[in-house]
Structure 1
């Protein structure tokens, strides 16, 4: 049975998993999770921590965490260059890049999102977290900009799941009002612009925004809450 990806809105890092599934081109379904609303019992069975992305994998078992899901997708897309065989240097490079994006860029920008979780009148706390997000993520953006000098993609000679994950989280620098990416990191901006023109990225934006969309991959439709319950009961 086709896998089901649970993606979070607004602007979740699960965006990258949608892009990767589109690049894979195999049948899949999506299930929308509003991260600002109460989670359903069905989603809790797939993701007990209530985090996205989460996936009902092709074998019917739950899979959580971006890196695990992206590696699952990559392993099914070796023929397309989305990933590489484990044990190769190319796999190590991809795994390193995914880890850097997750543990550094994602985490650094996360300080900015955490500022919104503080009490409304905690101005000092909010300012501290935003400053921390800006200072730390600036280093990450600058480092990644250096990586992109002289190469077209983040991890190899073709686009991989690392580029898919990148486009889902690199946008946060402007979402949070921390940077003008085009001005502050022109190399990052060029890579983002290239990805933004990709049909899979355009599709993922339309899915998030609930606007008319056209899949260039294997999208089979959204799974309703009722469909999810039936799928989990099977």
Structure 2
């Protein structure tokens, strides 16, 4: 049985199954990337709910795993060389799990890097821009009298959706016929934009054809349906 006692986070969120991947997360767009990935791969894992509303990601135990204080993070008890591997940043975790299993990422080197570039596109553009739009449209940003920030993030979010729309023209998934970590990285964010953030009308989502169809296909996958609810908020 794996010994995870060297990781302070396990004192606050004990591992009942230390031989499984330990997932510390919340079902946010970034969090569900990893739970969806784990469900798609069928890897055994143990989820731990990190209540960011209660600032649990800023506790010393959590910061010992991720000094940036964000979710998700994992500990893989069977990391490289058979040693436990702690890892944070959702994009890095997707890449690690894909490399570990040889799944959901192309074996061909050129296609592999093409896939990775779309994951980076999500990390550097889709996530930050959609998140800012959500803040200024639905949350505390609504109280700001100056509407230029909202307009900036609205326009950039619409542009990014246009990039996705073009990429998906004639393709079932971001990489064509193959469903990959590129799709997993973006599904939760697009779902959140038009759902939780209530920004579909704001970004003229109904004018798109390829992105809504892609989102529907993705959300129909059983692993995605499971992953978007893990860890349970109950």
Smaller-chain TM-score range?
Answer: 0.7 to 0.9
Report the equivalent of 1:222: none
- The CA deviation at 1:177 is 2.7
Matched, 1:177 2:198: yes
What RMSD in Å do the two structures reach over aligned CA positions? Answer: 2.2
Distance 1:90-1:151 versus aligned 2 partners, 3 A rule: same
> Cα 1:121–1:166, aligned 2, differ >3 Å: closer, same or farther?
closer
Normalising to structure 2: TM-score of the pair? 0.78
2:66 is equivalent to residue 42 of structure 1: no
Please name the residue that 1:221 is paired with.
Answer: none
* In 2, Cα distance between equivalents of 1:5 and 1:208: 9
Alignment partner of 1:186 is 2:206: no
1:103 and 2:124 aligned = yes
Correspondence for 1:56: 75
Q: Which runs of 5+ in 1 are unaligned?
A: 212-234
Q: Distance in 1 between matches of 2:213 and 2:101?
A: 26
Deviation at 1:12, TM superposition (A): 3.5
**Residues 130 and 8 (structure 1), Cα distance of their counterparts in 2 relative to 1, 3 Å cut:** farther
Scaled by the length of structure 1, the TM-score of the pair is 0.78
**Cα deviation code 1:14-34 (max 9, x no counterpart):** 111111111111211211112
What SS is found at the alignment partner of 1:136?
Answer: helix
2:15 aligned with 1:6, yes or no? no
Query: Helix, strand or coil for the counterpart of 1:178?
Result: coil
User: 3-state DSSP class of the match of 1:95?
Assistant: helix
Residue 181 of structure 2: aligned partner: 161
Report if the CA contact (8 A) 1:75-1:84 is conserved: no
SS state of the match for residue 14, structure 1? helix
Single out whichever of 145-154 and 155-164 deviates more from structure 2.
Answer: 155-164
Structure 2 unaligned spans of 5+:
1-18
Shift of 1:146: 1.0
Once residues 208 and 171 of structure 1 are traced to their aligned partners in structure 2, the CA distance between those partners, rounded to angstroms, is: 17
**1:74–1:84 Cα contact (<8 Å) kept:** no
Asked whether the equivalents of residues 90 and 156 of structure 1 are also in contact (C-alpha less than 8 Å), the reply is no
| Contact residue 25 and residue 50 of structure 2 kept, 8 A | yes
* Alignment partner, residue 136 of structure 1: 156
Contact 1:12 / 1:52 at 8 angstroms: preserved in 2? no
> Could you say what secondary structure the match of 1:206 adopts?
coil
Given that 1:17 and 1:66 are in contact with CA atoms closer than 8 Å, whether structure 2 keeps it comes out as yes
Q: What count of residue pairs does the alignment treat as equivalent? A: 204
Deviation at 1:153, TM superposition (A): 1.1
For each residue in 1:95-128, what CA deviation from the matched residue of structure 2 results, as whole angstroms up to 9, or x when unmatched? 111111111111211222443455x74332xx33
